[in-house]
Amino acid sequence: MNTDIRVSRTSNAAKVAAVLGALIVVILIAAPYWAGRADLRLMGEVFLYLALASLWNLLAGYAGLVSVGQQAYVGFGGYMLFALTIFAGLPPLVAIALAGVLGALISIPVAALIFRLRGAYFAIGTWVVAEVFRLVFAQVSALGGGSGTSLPTDIVRSMAADRSAREALSYWLALGAALIVVTAVYLLLRSRKGLALTAIRDNELASASLGIDIWRTKFFVYVVTSGLTAVIGALIFLQKLRISPDAAFSVNDWTAFVIFIVVIGGIGTIEGPIIGTLVFFLLRETLADLGTIYLMVLGLVAIVVMLKAPHGIWGFIRHRFNLQLFPLGYRVVIADHTKGD
């Protein structure tokens, strides 16, 4: 017997996926030159939802922080974009980046407070925080109070010369944000911290006994996720050009849908949110005319998936075909040179 045993991270499927992924990204970057205006807008929305879903998946699927209050940071980021451009006169791109920094900063005291709650009570605690954010911003009359405000036209014009250039820029920002988020999540999970996170996901008690500081790891993930969510929030409202407290801090738009996306796609995997986002928009575009019925179907699908296939669509595929497109795990490869013996 002459067997060569090695430990490998990558696989042929992952290599093919990487090449295909790069190809798709190139095609998507060129979208403003081949896609219509409505399609461009829809695709921008898809990317922003993909980013939100990937972030929530990192938070809930890996760090075990099941938050139903991430709309706090979506809304916060959106309002920061408006406040920083209108009052401080900052260019929108600078304001978006700064919104992320501020979002991360404000999430520090929030985390210190709500990390006292455990499990499901943590979830509702995050919702309370989001409500506080909504009510506070509704009190700021300079930002339109309860009825909201629009982004002034001179700020919108300062971004790009004409409307189509502006729409292309907005699209590229959304695509860039989604790529950055997915890549960041992937790199984080491949790092030392990611190993700790995966261990926490699989067994909190066991990972604590191996010396992982659970509180600090979760705190780190919460702050990073919140900052990035604020960036996405700023981009969402850059696309909408109008903000109001109810839209900015909507639990349905920014949390319920995002959770459904992650659950349907497959929680605790990088591929899951991508598939979930595609399924979500496919459902939305085909059933949107049904209005409320569509949302009931969505809720029902999420419940059925949770009960019957808790690992979602990707969990099913991975289990069935032993596939991993983003190589995170290690696998033992046994190359048998003496075949036929």
Partner 1 sequence: MDFVNAVVQGILLGGLYALFAAGLSLIFGVMRLVNIAHGDLIVLAAYLGLTTTVVLGVHPLVALIVVVPVMAGIGYVLQRGVLNHTLGDDILPPLLVTFGLSVIIQNALLEGYSADPQKMDAGVLETASVALGPLSLGLLPLLTFAIAVAVIAALQWTFYRTPLGRAFRATSDNQDIAQLMGLNKRHVFGLAMALALAVTAVAGILLGIRTSFDPSVGGGRLIFGFEAVIIGGLGNLWGTLVGGVILGVAQTVGATINPGWQLLAGHIAFLVILAVRPNGLFPRISG
Interface residues with partner 1 (CB under 8 A) are 60, 66, 68, 113-114, 116-121, 123-125, 127-129, 131-132, 135-136, 138-139, 251-252, 256, 259-260, 263, 267, 292-293, 295-296, 298-300, 302-303, 306-307, 310
Minimum CB–partner distance for residue 291 and partner 1 (Å): 8
Q: Closer CB to partner 1, residue 52 or residue 138?
A: 138
Minimum CB–partner distance for residue 43 and partner 1 (Å): 25
Q: Is the dihedral of CA 138, 72, 232, 40 positive or negative?
A: negative
Q: Closer CB to partner 1, residue 2 or residue 292?
A: 292
User: Strand pairing partners for 214?
Assistant: none
Q: Closer CB to partner 1, residue 25 or residue 124?
A: 124
Minimum CB–partner distance for residue 331 and partner 1 (Å): 26
Q: Closer CB to partner 1, residue 172 or residue 294?
A: 294
Minimum CB–partner distance for residue 79 and partner 1 (Å): 16
Greatest pairwise CA separation for the chain in angstroms? 82
Burial grade of 140 (CB within 10 A; 0-12, 13-18, 19 or more): middle
Find the helix or strand (DSSP H, E) in which 83 lies: helix 71-86
* DSSP state string for 118-165: -HHHHHHHHHHHHHHHHHHHHH-GGGTGGG-EE--HHHHHHH-SSHHH
Q: Closer CB to partner 1, residue 13 or residue 283?
A: 283
Q: Closer CB to partner 1, residue 24 or residue 135?
A: 135
Minimum CB–partner distance for residue 171 and partner 1 (Å): 29
Minimum CB–partner distance for residue 263 and partner 1 (Å): 6
Q: Which residue, chain included where needed, has tokens 């991360």?
A: 104
User: CA-CA distance, 280 to 132, in Å (whole number)?
Assistant: 29
Minimum CB–partner distance for residue 68 and partner 1 (Å): 7
| CB contact set of 55 (below 8 Å; sequence gap of 6+) | 70, 181, 185, 225, 228, 229, 232
Q: Closer CB to partner 1, residue 146 or residue 176?
A: 146
Measured in degrees and rounded to the nearest 5, phi and psi for residue 331 equal -135, 150
DSSP state of 339: T
